[in-house]
Amino acid sequence: MTSDTKVLLDHGSGGKIAHSMISEMIVPLFDNPFLSKQDDGALIDFKGTRIAFSTDSYVVDPIFFPGGNIGDLAVNGTVNDLAMCGAHPLYISSALILEEGFPMDDLEKILETMSCAAKRAGVFIVTGDTKVVPRGKADKIFINTSGIGMVPRGVKLSGSNALPGDKIILSGTMADHGIAVLTAREGLGISLDIMSDSVPLNKMVKSLLGTLPRDSVHVLRDPTRGGIGTTLNEIASQSGVTIRIKENDIPMRDSVKSTCELLGFDPLYIANEGKMVAVVAPEAAHEALAIIRREEYGKDAAIIGEVAERVGAEPSAFSRPGYVVMETIIGGSRIVDMLTGEQLPRIC
Amino acid sequence: MTSDTKVLLDHGSGGKIAHSMISEMIVPLFDNPFLSKQDDGALIDFKGTRIAFSTDSYVVDPIFFPGGNIGDLAVNGTVNDLAMCGAHPLYISSALILEEGFPMDDLEKILETMSCAAKRAGVFIVTGDTKVVPRGKADKIFINTSGIGMVPRGVKLSGSNALPGDKIILSGTMADHGIAVLTAREGLGISLDIMSDSVPLNKMVKSLLGTLPRDSVHVLRDPTRGGIGTTLNEIASQSGVTIRIKENDIPMRDSVKSTCELLGFDPLYIANEGKMVAVVAPEAAHEALAIIRREEYGKDAAIIGEVAERVGAEPSAFSRPGYVVMETIIGGSRIVDMLTGEQLPRIC
């Protein structure tokens, strides 16, 4: 049981405190083999047909931001969670919690965006729910999307499948979504044309898994809340390996980089909403990179590191179970821990 | 497009205004054959296996009430929506939106209740999400549950299947949940031991569909938000029939009845969370009633009315398309319209 007596913003961060609440409180209570895997969605066998099932609520503030709004974020987010399980996303639910007085025009705009996002991703929004709470009891609009996808035969992805020697591919520039939302929220007067990267990744995943030998792709994850740093830590921890990345190889827009420097944010922990981390067998890594780069949303993809070693019983300072080590631009080494605390609440 | 420029509490009522928003704005935007059926969940064919998929968010106030809390409400609600599609509920997701500062003890109590409710219904909570918003940006805790169930071969239920002559069965007393929540919320000082009826109905549905000839059960619905009155109107409207019910035959606890009289509420529009409306072929109605009454949560079941006639092109005052007519205790006839406005916001 967590030692906090009240829920903190950190519990929703996707970082360390959120993980400890999930693994110490939620997983034991809901104990079952599906949940305890702690991947982006659950894999369920339905009479020989494997389906992936995932859910996410969206509470982003502000609800409209450069490059998108809460509507496409909600659709793309669940589409991507399913895709990261290796599934073809097919059906999505949409459950709205609205604050009394919310402008009907904004609602229509958001629903139109959801409809477009669903078409773009090739999924149907098949069921829904609408609740309204009195003024002041919610902040404008919260959206939950849950989704179902079909997992092709032979696809077997999990955060626990990373193997020593595997290459780590990031499908594009880091930290765009978080910085776009932040600048919109705080009215910082920074106008750097930083746009959210909210896009569906299912086509990219389909190309990757459909072209490469099935057993060469080991892990797929979308580094949303908690950023690349937290996602790599999850993989390292689930697989019991050390991951080494090179700061210099991580793609990042100059405008995002300078905004992070200006505001003191570490981009490794900033949310992405249209990026994928792929852990791929070394012999397939260059083909994987080429496939991703041919995709509309993968032009800036890069190999950013590799899985170093499986961690034994006698961990040393730089090879403790589940560690991520980054070779910095200036040549040193730094341990990249899971996000502690919350840099940016309500980023998705 | 609805003529309101702002979202009203009524848009979340499950009644007339909510229906017009759904049918005029949401269904056209998300246009697809699954959604347009407007049943409690979507039916999806997965390579010959039919699954039902449903979602609901819970925003009940207060979160703890006599007979339950938001946790079992959230599990039972989605279990029941799936059961009303004729499905065996199997897998549930749980997405929490928490207000910063929410007591961890309360969260644990709610999660324990969810875990117990899932066990009681025989479903697994397989995937989840936790978001936290700053103090004042949400009211304590909101829970979304989505669910997947398997629909047995041959089962074909829909609100549009009611046929003239069919009998209407209600599985127990009306309005318990709404009145229990209301008395808890308002601190009315009424202590009548009115408890919420929040229970899972999947076992009852399984007994019913497993025993009766498959084609004799035409519609199942759980009359939650909007109550029996709204549910019967939905069925009447979807099937294009007139439904006649007898006030005297509708089971209701004396304490609930007197509370409704005292406060001026019409119990026909008060939410139930463990009741089922079954529309059954006349020749099977008495066996259906016997089956339901043998179930733990069906002891007070009764036949409350019947489907009168399919409505033709020339509707009269009492037989307009989709009308519900009630023979009152004093012998008159009253049209029971769909709920207009919202008697009790945040009842589920």
Predicted confidence (pLDDT) per residue in B15-24, tens digit: 888 888 888 8
Cβ-contact A202, A83 below 8 angstroms: yes
Q: Which of A238-242, A343-347, B278-282 has the lowest mean pLDDT?
A: A343-347
CA separation (Å) from A226 to A6, A175, A267, B62, B108?
21, 10, 10, 32, 24
Chain B neighbours among A 285-304 (CB < 8 Å)? Answer: none
Q: Which of B150, B179, B205 is the last residue of a domain?
A: B150
pLDDT, tens digit (0-9, with 9 covering 90-100), for A128-165 = 999 999 999 999 999 999 999 999 998 999 999 999 99
Q: Is residue B156 part of a domain?
A: no
Taking residues A106-125, report their average pLDDT.
97
- Note whether B148 contacts A44, CB cutoff 8 Å: yes
Count how many domains chain A has: 2
Please give the Cα distance from B35 to A126 (Å, whole number). Answer: 5
Write the CATH number for A301: 3.90.650.10
The 10s digit of each residue's pLDDT in B25-45 is 888 999 888 876 777 789 998
Cβ–Cβ under 8 Å, residues B42 and A139: no
**Looking at the predicted structure, is the pLDDT value of residue B318 above 60?**
no
Predicted confidence at residue B319, as pLDDT, reads 47
Q: Which of A150, A183, A204 is the last residue of a domain?
A: A150
Please report whether residue A302 resides in a domain.
yes
Q: Is residue A25 part of a domain?
A: yes
| pLDDT at B103 (0 to 100) | 97
Q: What span, in angstroms and rounded, lies between the C-alpha atoms of B265 and B263?
A: 6
Interface contacts A/B by beta carbons within 8 Å? 275
Cβ of A107 within 8 Å of Cβ of B54? The answer is no
Q: How confident is the model at residue A67 (pLDDT cuts 50, 70, 90)?
A: very high
Higher-pLDDT residue of B239, A193: B239
Do residues B187 and B255 share a domain?
yes
Residue B341 belongs to some domain of the structure: no
pLDDT band at A207 (very low <50, low <70, confident <90, very high): very high
Asked casually if ipTM beats, i.e. exceeds, 0.90, the reply is: yes
Label residue A192 by pLDDT band (50, 70, 90).
low
Q: Is residue A181 a part of any domain in this protein?
A: yes
Same domain, A196 and A323: yes
Considering the domain architecture, whether residues B208 and B319 belong to the same structural domain is answered as yes
Tell whether A193 and A60 lie within a shared domain: no
CA distance A164 to A160: 12
Q: Which pLDDT belongs to residue A319?
A: 47
What pLDDT digit, counting tens, does each position of A316-338 carry?
544 456 789 999 999 899 999 98
- Structure-block tokens of residue B3: 């003529």
Measured CA to CA, the distance from residue B13 to residue B341 in angstroms comes to: 7
Q: Is B138 on the interface with A (CB under 8 A)?
A: yes
Q: Is A95 on the interface with B (CB under 8 A)?
A: yes
Does the distance separating the beta carbons of A5 and B54 come in below 8 Å? Answer: no
DSSP A338: P
Substitution target in A39, A92, A137, A347 with the highest count of B β-carbons within 10 Å is: A137
Domain that holds residue A307: 167-335
State whether residue B116 sits within 8 Å of chain A by CB: no
A126·B22 Cβ contact <8 A: no
> Does residue A305 lie within any of the structural domains?
yes
Looking at residue B139, which CATH number applies to its domain?
3.30.1330.10
Specify whether A221 is located in the same domain as A284: yes
Provide the shortest C-alpha distance from residue A21 to chain B (in Å).
10
Say if residue B172's pLDDT is above 60. Answer: yes
Q: Are residues B44 and B186 part of one domain?
A: no
Same domain, A195 and A331: yes
Stretch among A6-15, B212-221, B298-307 having the lowest mean pLDDT: A6-15
E strand or H helix that includes residue B310:
strand B302-310
Using the predicted structure, report yes or no on whether residue B72 has a pLDDT greater than 90: yes
Q: How high is the pLDDT of residue B1?
A: 43
> Which pLDDT score is estimated for B315?
47
- What's the pLDDT score for residue B91? 97
Same domain? For A137 and A186 the reply is no
Nearest CA in chain B to A36: B126
How many residues are recorded in chain B? 348
Do residue B125 and residue A32 have CB atoms under 8 angstroms apart? yes
Please indicate, yes or no, whether residues B42 and B181 belong to a single structural domain of this protein: no
Going through chain A in order, the beta strands assigned E by DSSP cover: 42-46, 49-58, 64-65, 68-69, 88-99, 124-133, 141-150, 167-170, 217-221, 241-246, 277-280, 302-310, 324-327, 333-335
- The whole-angstrom separation of Cα B178 and Cα B329 is 23
Q: What is the pLDDT of residue B312?
A: 59
B146 and B205 assigned to the same domain: no
Instruction: Tell whether A94 and A174 lie within a shared domain.
Output: no
Strands B277-280 and B217-221: antiparallel
Does position A221 have pLDDT exceeding 50, yes or no?
A: yes
B93 has a chain A CB within 8 A of its CB:
yes
Q: Residue A190 has what pLDDT?
A: 64
Q: Give chain A positions within 8 Å (CB) of B226.
A: none
**Shortest Cα–Cα distance, A6 to chain B (Å):** 4
Alpha-carbon gap, residue A93 to A128, rounded angstroms: 5
The verdict on residue A1 lying in a domain is: no
Which of A93-107, A175-189, B70-84, B227-241 has the lowest average pLDDT? A175-189
Q: Does B20 touch chain A (CB under 8 A)?
A: no
Percent of chain A with pLDDT over 70: 94
What pLDDT score does A317 carry? 47
Residues B191, B130, single domain; the answer is no
CA distance A148 to chain B (A): 9
Q: With an 8 Å Cβ cutoff, is A165 touching chain B?
A: no
Q: Is residue B342 part of a domain?
A: no
Across the interface, which of B9, B46, B93 has its CB nearest the CB of A51?
Answer: B46
Residue that terminates a domain, selected from A120, A150, A180: A150
